[in-house]
Structure 1
Amino acid sequence: MSEGISQPDQPEPHPGEGKDLFSKFDSLIGQRQALLDSGLEDPFNLVMEKVLSPTRAICNGRETILLGTYNYMGMTFDPEVVAAGQKALADFGSGTTGSRVLNGTYQGHRECEDALREFYGMDHAMVFSTGYQANLGIISTIAGKGDYVVLDIDSHASIWDGCALGNAEIVPFKHNDMEAMEKRLRRIPEEAGKLVVLEGVYSMLGDIAPLKEMVAVAKKYGAMVLVDEAHSMGFIGENGRGVVETAGVIDDVDFIIGTFSKSVGTVGGFCVSNHPKFEIMRLVCRPYVFTASLPPSVVATAATSIRKLMHGSNKRAHLWENSRTLHAGLKELGFQLGTDTPESAIIAVIMPDLERGAAMWEALLKEGLYVNLARPPATPANMTLLRCSLCAEHSSEQVETILDMFERAGKATGIIG
């Protein structure tokens, strides 16, 4: 917690009263209240009153450019995607009211999994109700008590939670450090079950993993490999299959996890695999078995979007152009960035601390620009970040406007000179 933020007084419990189970959050409560008391708007409670397009919305009564939505390929307003959802809503109703293993598998769920198999060229595909559940379910089911999960220290919360749910031995290593990963693998008993979990793009800084080398090391020690491609699917790779495609290891990894809530433009998660025993997961994966399936309209939009992403090379090229332009422009203005060069559609702008980061966030919002404010403990090395997520639908003119907004807000808050 930053200096100068006072802790709320703790009242003495009366006889017969137990411990306040919320007391563990008092530090965060105090930090949040200090931000609000300073007059800043709550950066974690913004309401979008109307969404106009993948890149524009009405926030606080004014038109705002969206630069923090993960809508990388801009599919949320694609006419064919929207039409598919509307038709499924009319034909199948608003929801399934059941699990996939009971009444919750509709034709649309099968078609969505067919689209995923075709997109990745894999034998098996399994759709979950969220991307978080995909990691939670797959990791906890295949890595149990007595097994080992070797994972990057900067892994997403859903990966950590999947490890905890499965009760496997968790073995973290320094971010993107191949030597540290091999050192951990070398110490694990040879006969033990081993799973290495990596991410194609790490969501906080937008940096990519050296998958080619890391997958080779994992296989050297007999480990299975799971790669989370949530932030690269649709955008990175010649066919949009992610970093596994650019690294040439798509046929070497055992599981690819992804989400529909980013490039696909809706909600849901998935796992694809070539493992011959994979289909048993539908009966033993608790977050899949005991969750209602996605509504028909959602899987219809997802299937349509995935098939369109197969032919999205022009959009991918424009998104890369946007990323290079924004990264270079912010660097030239004097902002400290999370990566030396643009590696993905995420560009992280490092702030001095939470208070000044929140002030910069609000200054940008008043300029008419929305970005994500990311804070510890979700961020690496206790950094406060303004996380910019570019979209293929951002025009070149919008990117230049965004740079002008950053310059004015940065100077007004003293972040840049």
Structure 2
Amino acid sequence: MHVGQNILTQKLKATLDQRRRDGRLLVPPVPVTLADTIDFGSNDTLNLSGSGLLSAAFLRELERHPGFTIGSTSARAFEGTRKYLIDLEDDLAKFHGAEAGVFVNSGFDGNVAIWSAIPQPGDFIVYDELAHASIHDGMRMGRATCLPFRHNDPEALKARLEEIRDNNASVASGESLVFISVESFYSMDGDAAPIHGIVAAAREALPSGNYLCAIDEAHSNGLVGPNGSGFVCHFGLEKEFPIRLNTCGKALGSTGAIILCNETIKSALINYARNMVFSTAPSFLCAAGVRAGYELAASAEGEKRRQLVQQKVRYFYRLLTDNPKWRQASRCGIVRLPTEKTWATRPLQSPIIALIAPMVEADSLAEHLRMGKYWVNVVHFPTVPRGMDRVRMVIHAHNTKEEIEAVVGRILGWATEKMESQSLRVGL
């Protein structure tokens, strides 16, 4: 081995070994492990990918374009902007009620592009404290001042905006812009942004209107809204969110993302977002898969599957939270749901379920469920805040009533064992 490579390998090995000792080493499951389990982990919420529906629709799309070129061959500013990509962007912008759209290779790329290139020097970004890592990466590359507000708290947002306004003459005068960054369904807690409250807080704190709300719809695109058009469209607030990032790798079953905006913002992204300027444009194959996914999501079958997800998430919550064993385990601090007090009254259900437990217990619960052939994911710091380790579950359209009942029973069985063990320790 080359000397430099050997030094690097030893350094990396030491950091990975430490992460393993801390119980935080990420080890992707091997495909054969997943094949033998019931899926309560993946983001394929409508089961468009797993069912084969998307594959069939994708192949039909290829047949409609027999002379296609696989690669885009260049960056967007050069030959990479093909007619098929332009048509897709125009169609998706219309579908989501936006003036324009720019398609990117992933949701991560989209957030990096937006937050690194669009806010200008002198502007501010106020972001939910649980913002996705890609938003943070984009902000770090950008030129605006970035400040958090307490998660899903419009009053905290209003206070932060008033603080910025009162301490910055350029904001008070309306010269500088304040961007507000939120997500529709949060990927780790499974809760939803109070977007009406977010908009109201911005209006009250900045009556001159020098604010811009942006939303990441990674976990809502295809899953809610008219024809699956998303969270903002469901509430009819398209004009209140001039920048939306709607990704295609979750409910739509493929990959990539569309940034919904106006023509000027689109041009600015193509000119100034370095991960777009210096990257090959999305391929025909990627774009064709996305078009196929949108067609399925907007179909009667897509609507049926959206309704199934909503019904099954509610069924899961009722089974779990109505059970006395769950309430006792939650009181004992063994496991809890951050959405327990809100799920029954919210108009839209997120398919993401977070079972928060101390680190060792989160691993124990995940292993208990996997032993029963239910695939779930376990999440530790730094993906989530320290002390907020959890089992992350996802409810899908294809999960049966019997599967949901069985996995809830297994969660309750684990919780009962932990309570009995806790009682024995107290008795000793």
Q: Same fold (TM over 0.5)?
A: yes
Sequence identity (%): 26
Distance change in 2, residues 1:117/1:22 (3 Å): farther
User: Which deviates further from its counterpart, 165-174 or 140-149?
Assistant: 140-149
Give the SS at the match of 1:92.
Answer: coil
Supply the AA of the counterpart residue of 2:42: T
Q: CA deviation at 1:375?
A: 1.0
In structure 1, the residue matched to 2:259 is 271
Whether contact under 8 Å (1:43, 1:361) holds in the other structure is: no
Q: CA deviation at 1:315?
A: 1.4
Provide TM-score, normalisation by structure 1.
0.83
- Residue 337 (structure 2) pairs with residue 337 (structure 1): yes
In structure 2, the residue matched to 1:259 is 247
In structure 1, the residue matched to 2:20 is 32
Please list, as runs of the form range in 1=range in 2, the aligned pairs for 1:3-402 lying within 5 A after superposition.
Answer: 29-33=17-21, 35=23, 44-49=27-32, 58-59=33-34, 63-76=36-49, 77-78=52-53, 79-84=55-60, 87=63, 91-188=67-164, 189=168, 190=171, 191-220=175-204, 221=206, 222-274=210-262, 278-311=266-299, 312-331=302-321, 332=323, 333-334=325-326, 335-340=335-340, 341-342=342-343, 343-351=349-357, 353-380=358-385, 382-402=387-407
Structure 1: distance between partners of 2:419 and 2:90: 52
Write the deviation string for residues 42-90 of structure 1: whole angstroms up to 9, x where unpaired: 76321123xxxxxxxx53xx62111111112222121543324654897
Structure 2: distance between partners of 1:147 and 1:295: 34
Provide TM-score, normalisation by structure 2.
0.81
Aligned length, in residue pairs: 384
Whether contact under 8 Å (2:359, 2:387) holds in the other structure is: no
Q: CA deviation at 1:113?
A: 1.4
Distance change in 2, residues 1:303/1:139 (3 Å): same
- Structure 2 unpaired stretches of 5+: 1-6, 327-334, 344-348, 423-428
Write the deviation string for residues 305-338 of structure 1: whole angstroms up to 9, x where unpaired: 1132223322111110110111222322515212
Structure 1: distance between partners of 2:417 and 2:150: 37
In structure 2, the residue matched to 1:15 is none
Q: CA deviation at 1:216?
A: 2.7
In structure 1, the residue matched to 2:332 is none
Structure 1: distance between partners of 2:125 and 2:179: 5
In structure 1, the residue matched to 2:426 is none
RMSD between superposed Cα atoms in Å: 2.9
Supply the AA of the counterpart residue of 2:317: H
Whether contact under 8 Å (1:115, 1:303) holds in the other structure is: no
Distance change in 2, residues 1:70/1:88 (3 Å): farther
More helix by share: 2
Q: CA deviation at 1:157?
A: 0.5
Whether contact under 8 Å (1:117, 1:272) holds in the other structure is: yes
Structure 2: distance between partners of 1:294 and 1:44: 29
User: Which deviates further from its counterpart, 312-321 or 79-88?
Assistant: 79-88
Q: CA deviation at 1:167?
A: 2.9
Structure 1: distance between partners of 2:338 and 2:421: 16
Structure 1: distance between partners of 2:261 and 2:290: 19
Q: CA deviation at 1:224?
A: 1.0
Q: CA deviation at 1:184?
A: 1.5
Q: CA deviation at 1:259?
A: 1.2
Write the deviation string for residues 96-141 of structure 1: whole angstroms up to 9, x where unpaired: 3421222223333223213311320211011011100101001111
Structure 1: distance between partners of 2:22 and 2:114: 40
Supply the AA of the counterpart residue of 1:400: E
Distance change in 2, residues 1:205/1:108 (3 Å): same
Distance change in 2, residues 1:93/1:277 (3 Å): closer
Whether contact under 8 Å (1:319, 1:391) holds in the other structure is: yes
Distance change in 2, residues 1:232/1:25 (3 Å): farther
Distance change in 2, residues 1:416/1:158 (3 Å): farther
Distance change in 2, residues 1:107/1:384 (3 Å): same
- Structure 1 unpaired stretches of 5+: 1-18, 37-41, 50-57
Supply the AA of the counterpart residue of 2:387: N
Whether contact under 8 Å (1:125, 1:273) holds in the other structure is: yes
Supply the AA of the counterpart residue of 2:101: A
Whether contact under 8 Å (2:353, 2:392) holds in the other structure is: yes
Distance change in 2, residues 1:227/1:387 (3 Å): same
Give the SS at the match of 2:36.
Answer: strand
Whether contact under 8 Å (1:43, 1:358) holds in the other structure is: no
Whether contact under 8 Å (2:212, 2:242) holds in the other structure is: yes
Supply the AA of the counterpart residue of 1:201: F
Whether contact under 8 Å (2:102, 2:266) holds in the other structure is: no
In structure 1, the residue matched to 2:331 is none
Supply the AA of the counterpart residue of 1:45: P
Distance change in 2, residues 1:169/1:20 (3 Å): farther
Structure 2: distance between partners of 1:44 and 1:194: 40
Whether contact under 8 Å (2:224, 2:230) holds in the other structure is: yes
Structure 1: distance between partners of 2:356 and 2:320: 11
